[in-house]
Structure 1
Amino acid sequence: MKVHHGKHHAAYVAGLNAAVGKTAKDGSMAALTALQRDAVKAGTAQRNHGGGHYNHALFWVNLAAASGSSEPSPDLAAAIDDKFGSLDGLKEAFAKAAMGRFGSGWAWLGVTPQGSLAVTSTANQDNPLMEGLEYSVEKMIPILGLDVWEHAYYLKYQNRRAEYVSAFWNLVNWKKVSRNYEEYAKKGQPVPPTPTGGGHAMEL
């Protein structure tokens, strides 16, 4: 995770700074979030680096040490049960999305325009906030994402992506995910990731 955070994520930040200048350099997560909608139209650099920065920023802040594990809030838990039947049902659907993404990409849990939860996946550093993707993606505001690029898991798991996906749930910070749901996505607002703090020290 130190290599992932300090090298890969840092490269996306540098690439976005080079592509859009002060818009990225001001450090505003709201500005970064706003860039996502038109990233495809803005071109390859903003799509790849801007998406990579946003996706990773959301990824890190939704992780916690295993000792700090929590549970979904009652509101989010009810939405999970309504859509997936149970938390285990969500994990099964999420694993299917993560394992079904051929090559590099992400798996996502989010809120659809109709207000229900859904799971989808995107390629490379795309995310469901981006408009104009060339392939089918469930439209949603993501509240939880998992990086399934090989660089995210290969040093520890080699080609065993399924083990990595399963281990992910031990570190999900449900307090943050519940906040993402209740304060932002449920109200139709994209989630602005907060600073990652010590997230790079996590071990999946």
Structure 2
Amino acid sequence: MTFKLPDLPYTLDALEPNISKKTFEFHYAKHHQAYVTNLNNLIPGTEFENADLETIVKKADGPIFNNGAQVWNHTFFFLSFSPNGGGKPTGALAAAIDNTFGSFEKFKEAFSQAAATLFGSGWAWLVKKADGSLEIIKEGNAGNPLRNGLTPILTCDVWEHAYYLDYQNKRPDYIQNFWNVIDWNVVGNRY
């Protein structure tokens, strides 16, 4: 199977000023593309040569996992955005957030704290557990909750390449603006 960089449902400058075109030119067009290229170069002749991306994330190790998970994570991340994003979730996801965290504001604070305090590079995730309840987890490097039987709902990329061009070392500022571009319709459908 050959993987391709996914098309985005918005232009590279559509999320400005929250995420700049320049950041997308590097983060999406260079970093994400590099993971796609690396994965395509790594899988020929392996048990993952014809596997889908989710299988690679769940079962591979080493460089195949690292690149496969980064392709999956970045695609999931970028497809969570809209130039008309922001606001709050509605429906079942909103009810689940209120039930688990007490309110959307408390959830947002807890998720932002998880993203801000993850040491080094990685991802903050909102996940659904098998019983339907929600949890916020942190994963370092290419970590992905699919490996632990969890359903990803939302993620925030806290690798420096996600924010350094726009926010330098101010990860909390990036996280604060991340909420302005979330497409809650897309995210809600994942729940």
TM-score class, shorter: 0.7 to 0.9
Report the CA distance between 1:70 and its aligned residue: 5.5
Distance 1:7 1:81 in 2: 38
Distance 1:159 1:68 in 2: 24
Residues 57-92 of structure 1: CA deviation (Å, up to 9, x unaligned): 000110111x35464231111001000111111111
Distance 2:143 2:65 in 1: 7
- Counterpart check, 1:16 vs 2:33: no
Matched AA of 2:96: A
Distance 2:74 2:41 in 1: 18
The 4+ residue runs of structure 1 with deviation greater than 2 A are 21-26, 67-71
**Alignment check: 8 A CA contact 1:47 1:126 kept:** no
Aligned partner of 2:138 in structure 1 is: 121
Distance 2:54 2:89 in 1: 24
The percent of aligned pairs where both chains have the same amino acid is: 43
Distance 1:71 1:13 in 2: 32
Distance 1:36 1:58 in 2: 13
SS of 1:170's partner is helix
Report the CA distance between 1:6 and its aligned residue: 0.2
Aligned partner of 1:38 in structure 2 is: 59
SS of 1:103's partner is coil
After TM superposition, list the pairs within 5 Å mapping 1:185-204 onto structure 2.
none
- Counterpart check, 1:156 vs 2:166: yes
Structure with the larger RCO, 1 or 2 (CA within 8 Å, 6+ apart): 1
Structure 2 segments unaligned to the other structure (5+ residues): 1-23
Residues 151-194 of structure 1: CA deviation (Å, up to 9, x unaligned): 1000110100001011100000100001111xxxxxxxxxxxxx
Matched AA of 1:118: E
Residues 105-164 of structure 1: CA deviation (Å, up to 9, x unaligned): 000011012210110010111111125xxxxxxx62111111100010001101000010
**Alignment check: 8 A CA contact 2:32 2:70 kept:** yes
**Alignment check: 8 A CA contact 1:24 1:32 kept:** no
- Counterpart check, 1:60 vs 2:78: yes
Matched AA of 1:125: A
Structure 1 segments unaligned to the other structure (5+ residues): 132-138, 182-204
Aligned partner of 1:201 in structure 2 is: none
Distance 1:82 1:89 in 2: 11
SS of 2:145's partner is coil
**Residue correspondences, number:** 167
Aligned partner of 1:50 in structure 2 is: 68
